[in-house]
Amino acid sequence: MEGKKTREEVEKSGMIGTWMRKHRLIYSGATKHPFILSIRDGTVDLEAFKTWLGQDYIFVRAFAPFVASVLIKAWKESDDSSDMEVILSGMASLNDEIAWFKSEAAKWGVQLSEVVPQKANQDYCRFLESLMSPDVEYTVAITAFWAIEAVYQGSFALCLEDGSKTPAELTETCRRWGNDGFGQYCNSLQKIANRRLGKTPDDVLTKAEVTLLRVLEHEVEFWNMSHGSA
Ligand code: HMH
């Protein structure tokens, strides 16, 4: 099978590592988006930040049921009972995150009840909903879950690196997703995805790769929307 990695090669770095190398340009397009780079260099438009805040609150409210659907799939399909704890911990942090969005929005004067989801957000939420179907394999769903979290982790971690000029009022936001604990959690999700992808039939592998690319595209569109460049 030319162009394809052997199973042994895949087991060394994991399928996710292979895909990250193969799709590194689109991945860095999602994590090093101009909106994120503007936070990092301190030139961010605070109106754009407020737009992101309100829109992401709506996104997270749709993301929670998606994570619940992954939990159900893990319970039904997983070959490792410890997956459930990792997914549950993600759900628990979403509870905290929703409370955080509310208090952060109040600080910035953003009325969450009046936020209207923009098209990129609606499209992304509809995509999440399609992944909640029982027809979507656990392996595909956990790959998407990892990618959604990993993009935020990678993006906001950049804004905390040495030399970044992130405005003080945004560092707490960046720490939410850029902190080491969130990084560890993403690594746990990546390990689960790699384990599943390492023993999945080729047709499911293809579906997972396509789904990963869709996630990255939606993430870029979400940043574009926030940045006002949609
Ligand atoms: C758009 N992607 C988007 N919002 C989020 N909060 C995350 C990923 C990570 O939780």
Is pLDDT at 81 greater than 80 in this prediction? Answer: yes
Rg (CA), the chain: 18
In sequence order, the 6+-apart residues with CB closer than 8 A to the CB of 160 are 166, 171, 174, 175, 178
From residue 230, alpha-carbon distances to 10, 20, 45, 51, 222 in Å are: 37, 25, 15, 13, 8
Supply the pLDDT for residue 2.
42
| CA–CA gap between residue 54 and residue 194 (Å, rounded) | 33
Q: Which residues are catalytic?
A: 219
Establish whether residue 60 lines the binding site of ligand 1, counting it when its CB lies within 6 angstroms of any ligand atom: yes
Is pLDDT at 201 greater than 90 in this prediction? Answer: yes
Global pTM value: 0.94
Supply the pLDDT for residue 210.
98
What is the tens place of the pLDDT at every residue in 127-157? Answer: 999 999 999 999 999 999 999 999 999 999 9
Give the mean pLDDT of 183-206. Answer: 96
Query: CA 198, 200, 201, 202 torsion: positive or negative?
Result: negative
When pLDDT is cut at 50, 70 and 90, the band that residue 228 belongs to is confident
145 Cα to the center of ligand 1, angstroms: 10
* Among the listed residues 144, 139, 150, the one whose alpha carbon sits nearest the alpha carbon of residue 198: 139
Establish whether residue 56 lines the binding site of ligand 1, counting it when its CB lies within 6 angstroms of any ligand atom: yes
Pocket residue to mutate for ligand 1, from 152, 185, 220, 226, most atoms within 8 A of Cβ:
152
| CA–CA gap between residue 58 and residue 111 (Å, rounded) | 12
Structure tokens at 11: 């087991």
Give the mean pLDDT of 108-115. Answer: 96
Backbone φ, ψ for residue 2 (5° rounding): -70, 145
